[in-house]
């Protein structure tokens, strides 16, 4: 597949990006951020265009990777964003979502979600996005890139391993596995 990489989310693609992100991560976040319509409303509200690298093919968004810096993250809003979408339900959602927040790593460039459209998987889009991540990390002065992958996504882990990422730590979810639908998350790191 012939893809074009953009180092931000082009204007007018916020809703499409929210749908793609939710398709990739809704299974693990659905019990907390659902129903779908509200989750999408929240994502459209909080997406940071300047914290994304996207892949386009034939004028369509076929993949994206978000990242986190000291200035923000691709899909990280405030309590007021949650309140505007969920009302009183924002109280428990904020507490639960806080458990998934990964701290900014000043020594490593932190990926915050990679997703590829279903019809574009297996065609090099994920690899192209990871190559772009390496360029972005290097441009920002990082020597390593860090990401987390859940145990229920072996296809993503295989991609990361093929791209030179090595597992450095696995963290169990404990009782929260019932809420998020996965047992553990593995932190992986690659040299730039």
CA-CA distance, 120 to 109, in Å (whole number)? Answer: 26
Q: Tokens 């597992």 identify what position?
A: 167
pLDDT mean for each 10 residues of the chain (192 residues): 95 96 93 96 97 96 95 92 97 90 81 94 96 96 95 94 97 90 95 96
Given the DSSP bridges, would you call strands 144-150 and 166-172 parallel, antiparallel or unpaired?
unpaired
Q: Would you tell me which CATH number, out of the four given (3.40.630.30, 3.40.50.1980, 3.90.1150.10, 3.10.20.440), belongs to the domain 4-191?
A: 3.40.630.30
- The pLDDT value given to residue 44: 97
- The pLDDT value given to residue 5: 98
- The pLDDT value given to residue 188: 97
- The pLDDT value given to residue 119: 94
Measure CA of the first residue to CA of the last residue in the chain; give whole Å: 25
Report how far Cα 58 is from the mean position of its chain's Cα atoms. 23
Domain boundaries, the chain: 4-191
- The pLDDT value given to residue 169: 96
- The pLDDT value given to residue 104: 73
Note the pTM of the prediction, 2 decimals.
0.93
């Amino acid at each position: 597949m012939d893809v074009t990489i953009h180092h931000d989310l082009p204007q007018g693609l916020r809703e499409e990006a929210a749908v793609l992100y939710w398709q990739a991560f809704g299974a693990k976040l659905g019990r907390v951020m659902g129903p779908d319509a509200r989750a999408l409303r929240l994502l459209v509200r909080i997406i940071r265009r300047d914290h994304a690298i996207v892949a386009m093919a034939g004028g369509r968004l076929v993949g994206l990777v978000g990242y986190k810096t000291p200035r923000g993250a691709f899909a990280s809003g405030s309590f007021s964003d949650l309140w505007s979408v969920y009302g009183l339900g924002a109280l428990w959602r904020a507490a639960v979502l806080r458990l998934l927040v990964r701290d900014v790593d000043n020594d490593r460039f932190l990926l915050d979600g990679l997703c590829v459209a279903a019809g574009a998987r297996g065609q090099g889009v994920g690899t192209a996005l990871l190559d772009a991540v390496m360029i972005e990390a290097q441009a920002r002065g990082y020597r390593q890139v860090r990401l987390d992958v859940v145990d229920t996504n072996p296809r993503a882990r295989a991609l990361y391993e093929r791209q030179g990422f090595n597992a450095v730590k696995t963290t169990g979810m404990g009782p929260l596995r019932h809420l998020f639908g996965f047992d553990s998350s593995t932190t992986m790191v690659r040299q730039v």
